[in-house]
Structure 1
């Protein structure tokens, strides 16, 4: 049923005046709008030295692309805090094991749940920040070099096209 009620109309891909431009055009607009925001600077003083090191590393990597901005600093702070929590939980698990004995009964070490929750938070926050391969490739795919078409033409001509 091509046009069943409630399904909406199929998009007309030939309509060049549509509000929804192609992805490259939207990416250019988003990058242009993102330029007005301040870049992330130094990490918050409340972070541990280990957390600050990770924070600085991430900022250094992403500032060159202009992706992360000061508005993202609280998300980045929570991300590095969750990484720290996961590392602490791993230390406890390594020291006491995955299971512990309490009143001659075997129980799961509570640090396992702490680690699992931290890992879920890391995954979610990292994805929001572009820190996993899939989300990063999606973000960086939208960063289009100025002379991308020239390079493509050069490559095609060298290949005999």
Structure 2
């Protein structure tokens, strides 16, 4: 009831602590078991760029032994690697042309690559989380994952770009 002390707001949510569905590790094990019998994800589609194909193979290699990716995830993974590639392309355009560009009248305006980069970043985060590619979603899927940043992600991206 509004305006009455102690009665306002949402009712407390008392969780059923005896519910076996609350344990994340248990949910992860059930997800892996449910994937048994479903065809594993295969090679990347030929329409992808060479960078996207390398990223696809790397993601599949990392998650394949955990039995988390199946053929049902192929379209999500394809969109994920495409968005990462778009983000990298936008980075290159921003390096080349800067954050602002001149229009036909000589006025400065925001480089469209900024919006491409921002949209790709949002999509990468959303799709990556769905696939278990960020520390929090992986931890939710696999109880033994420790989210730490040891610089491996930067090394992987540089490797895909052909840098050492």
Match of 1:59 in 2: 60
Partner SS for 1:141: coil
The higher radius of gyration belongs to 1
Change (3 A) 1:2 1:68: farther
Match of 2:127 in 1: 125
Distance 2:60 2:81 in 1: 12
TM-score by length of 2: 0.73
Match of 1:107 in 2: 109
Distance 1:23 1:3 in 2: 33
1:93-104 map, 5 Å: 93-102=94-103, 103-104=105-106
Partner SS for 2:108: strand
Match of 1:10 in 2: 14
Distance 2:38 2:139 in 1: 22
Match of 2:159 in 1: none
The answer on whether the counterparts of 2:27 and 2:141 sit within 8 Å (CA) in structure 1 is: no
The answer on whether the counterparts of 1:38 and 1:70 sit within 8 Å (CA) in structure 2 is: yes
Q: Which residues of structure 2 form unaligned runs of 5+?
A: 146-164
1:16-38 residue CA offsets vs partner (Å, 9 max, x unmatched): xx574644443333321121211
- RMSD between aligned alpha carbons? 2.6
Match of 2:29 in 1: 28
TM-score by length of 1: 0.74
Distance 1:122 1:141 in 2: 23
Q: Which residues of structure 1 form unaligned runs of 5+?
A: 144-161
How many residues of Structure 1 are paired with residues of Structure 2 in the alignment?
A: 139
